[in-house]
Amino acid sequence: MASLRTQRMYQLAGALSRQQPTSSLASVWAVSKRFKSTAPSLKDRLSELIPEKQAEVKAVRKELGSESLGAVTVDMAYGGMRGIKGMVWEGSVLDADEGIRFRGKTIPECQKLLPSAEGGSEPLPEGLFWLLVTGEVPTAEQVKGISAEWAARATIPSFVEELLDRCPSTLHPMSQFSLAVTALQHESSFAKAYQQGISKNQYWEYVYEDSMDLIAKLPNIAGRIYRNVYKDGKLPAIDPNLDYSANLAHLLGFGDKKDFVELMRLYLTIHSDHEGGNVSAHTTHLVGSALSDPYLSFAAGLNGLAGPLHGLANQEVLRWITKMRDNLGAAEVSDETIKDYVWSTLKSGQVIPGYGHAVLRKTDPRYSCQREFALKHLPTDPMFKLVSQLYNIVPGVLTEQGKTKNPWPNVDAHSGVLLQHYGLVEQDFYTVLFGVSRGLGVLSQLIWDRALGMPLERPKSLSTEAIKKMFANKKN
Ligand SMILES: CC(C)(COP(=O)(O)OP(=O)(O)OC[C@H]1O[C@@H](n2cnc3c(N)ncnc32)[C@H](O)[C@@H]1OP(=O)(O)O)[C@@H](O)C(=O)NCCC(=O)NCCS
């Protein structure tokens, strides 16, 4: 049974999501206050940190503003802007060899330091979100507060439910996801406040409220899509006593599988952020720079995540492995046969999904921690055995082919095999889970974008003609 306080919070959030447009800062501020426990709330802490960070950025720009971050070559302009240092992202930094650090912390450090659920050992993504927003490790109580707050804000308006219910089941789950997030824009407190005229220094507070609402609603959207497309369309209610991942698992119909719930906690933590230059992060940040609200910005990011070279690769990986298993037939496949299959994929002009990376040059630590999870929870799963076999074979083949700069596996090479183990076998749905997690990273940055007054993003482009002209005299 939910406590009275939690039930009350839930009712308040439901009422809030139905209320008429309002943009008074006091009413938005009050929403956060309603969820406050005795510990400082995330919003309280953020409002303390923002002036400090603003002063820090001001000082950095004053001292270093005219320093160069590096040269930009013509190849970089044609080559997808690889290596150009041209944006600021506070939540995480990606090192080519070491992999991701969330606010300076590696994945194993996050697994150790962030609060976990009672009886569980994986970090709660609520804690990771707190870390991304503040740079600080939250207490277990603060994390519980976020779980309760997100559960309380989780209701989606009935017109969005109806929109999803009317989608044909043949519409890709990512398209449905993006559609629903765009439609939720109807609820944006930032958009309403902007229309009524607010000062720039208030932007972050509305973006914060929208971001908290949006993150809270993602499990309901994901669950509805999953149940509509693959099941009977019936969805349980959010349970205000559960954490975010447990609620997501519950909505998907896997809530009774303890290890799956743990997997969701790990999954949502590690897929959240991968510095700012990747397609979904950069797109959310770019669209947000036009002061499009968090719903519109994140929907744009989701459309990027839905590309097969980005998030959709996790769907492609399992599809490719399943095809391999079906083609090869035998339960145990020899290394030689797998090698031939990898070569045949390459020779047909396709990429090996789950391998390679635009920045990383070693095995992705997000792959490694999923492998650890598999070794602990599903060591004898036949598909995991295939994934492990591929890990021993693909880097060698890619190196021999000599094209890819990074022959090692990325996060997507491992996620699907974990999901299928627990019965979540619908590959087209996998990127939706990635999207739920990605919301944590890109929206935490969006709050900072507005707090730091990041301007409209508008890099300079050149035509080939202009590039030739630029260097015509230098070459003679
Ligand atoms: C992620 C990815 C898009 C990065 O692209 P990138 O930065 O351009 O990578 P590289 O600089 O190493 O690419 C150089 C060449 O190697 C190829 N290459 C890279 N990864 C490859 C892979 N996994 N399989 C086959 N070829 C690959 C590229 O297609 C490119 O070929 P081209 O010269 O014919 O255009 C790329 O590695 C890829 O397509 N991987 C498979 C999809 C995937 O797993 N995506 C998820 C990423 S988290």
DSSP 199-235: -GGGHHHHHHHHHHHHHHHHHHHHHHHHHHHHS-S--
Ligand 1 centroid to Cα of residue 406, in Å, is: 8
Mean pLDDT over residues 289-307, rounded?
Answer: 98
CA–CA gap between residue 359 and residue 16 (Å, rounded): 42
CB 107 within 8 A of CB 113: no
The model's pTM is 0.92
In ligand 1, which atom is closest to the CA atom of 355?
23
Mean pLDDT over residues 250-264, rounded?
Answer: 98
DSSP H helix total and E strand total for the chain: 22, 2
Which pLDDT band, with edges at 50, 70 and 90, does 304 fall under?
Answer: very high
Q: What average pLDDT does the chain have?
A: 92
Mean pLDDT over residues 284-288, rounded?
Answer: 98
Q: What's residue 37's pLDDT? A: 63
Q: Which two tokens stand for residue 381?
A: 């799963």
Q: What confidence tens digit (pLDDT) does each residue in 267-280 have?
A: 999 999 999 999 99
- Residue 355 three-state SS: strand
Q: What's residue 27's pLDDT? A: 52
Q: What confidence tens digit (pLDDT) does each residue in 14-50 have?
A: 434 433 334 445 554 555 555 556 678 999 999 999 9
In ligand 1, which atom is closest to the CA atom of 311?
46
Q: What's residue 476's pLDDT? A: 57
6 vs 126 pLDDT, higher one: 126
Q: What confidence tens digit (pLDDT) does each residue in 330-381 have?
A: 667 899 999 999 999 999 999 999 999 999 999 999 999 999 999 999 999 9
Nearest CA to ligand 1 atom 16: 404
445 CB-contact burial (10 Å; exposed 0-12 / middle 13-18 / buried 19+): buried
Mean pLDDT over residues 433-437, rounded?
Answer: 98
Counting ligand 1 atoms within 8 A of each CB, the residue from 355, 360, 391 with the most, and so the one to mutate, is: 355
CA–CA gap between residue 157 and residue 432 (Å, rounded): 20
Task: Choose the weakest-confidence range: 97-101, 337-341, 428-432, 471-475.
Answer: 471-475
Ligand 1 centroid to Cα of residue 73, in Å, is: 21
Residue type, 409: P
CA 434 to chain CA centroid, nearest Å: 6
Helical residues (DSSP H) of 278-406, grouped into ranges:
279-289, 294-305, 313-328, 335-347, 365-377, 382-401
Mean pLDDT over residues 201-216, rounded?
Answer: 98
Residue 185 is classified by DSSP as G
Ligand 1 centroid to Cα of residue 357, in Å, is: 6
Q: What's residue 23's pLDDT? A: 41
Q: DSSP letters along 30-44, please?
A: HHHHHT--SSPPHHH
CB 307 within 8 A of CB 279: yes
Mean pLDDT over residues 100-119, rounded?
Answer: 97
- For residue 2, pLDDT over 60 is answered with no
Counting ligand 1 atoms within 8 A of each CB, the residue from 357, 370, 394 with the most, and so the one to mutate, is: 357
Ligand 1 centroid to Cα of residue 416, in Å, is: 19
Nearest CA to ligand 1 atom 26: 351
Selected catalytic residue, list 210, 293, 412, 449: 412
Selected catalytic residue, list 285, 357, 414, 421: 357
18 lines ligand 1 (CB under 6 A): no
- For residue 308, pLDDT over 70 is answered with yes
Counting ligand 1 atoms within 8 A of each CB, the residue from 403, 411, 414 with the most, and so the one to mutate, is: 403
- Residue 425 three-state SS: coil
* CA atoms within a 13 Å half-sphere pointing along the CA-CB vector of 427: 18
358 lines ligand 1 (CB under 6 A): yes
Q: What's residue 40's pLDDT? A: 84
Mean pLDDT over residues 71-86, rounded?
Answer: 97
Ligand 1 centroid to Cα of residue 411, in Å, is: 14
Which pLDDT band, with edges at 50, 70 and 90, does 110 fall under?
Answer: very high
* 310 catalytic per annotation: yes
Task: Choose the weakest-confidence range: 80-84, 123-127, 234-238, 323-327.
Answer: 323-327
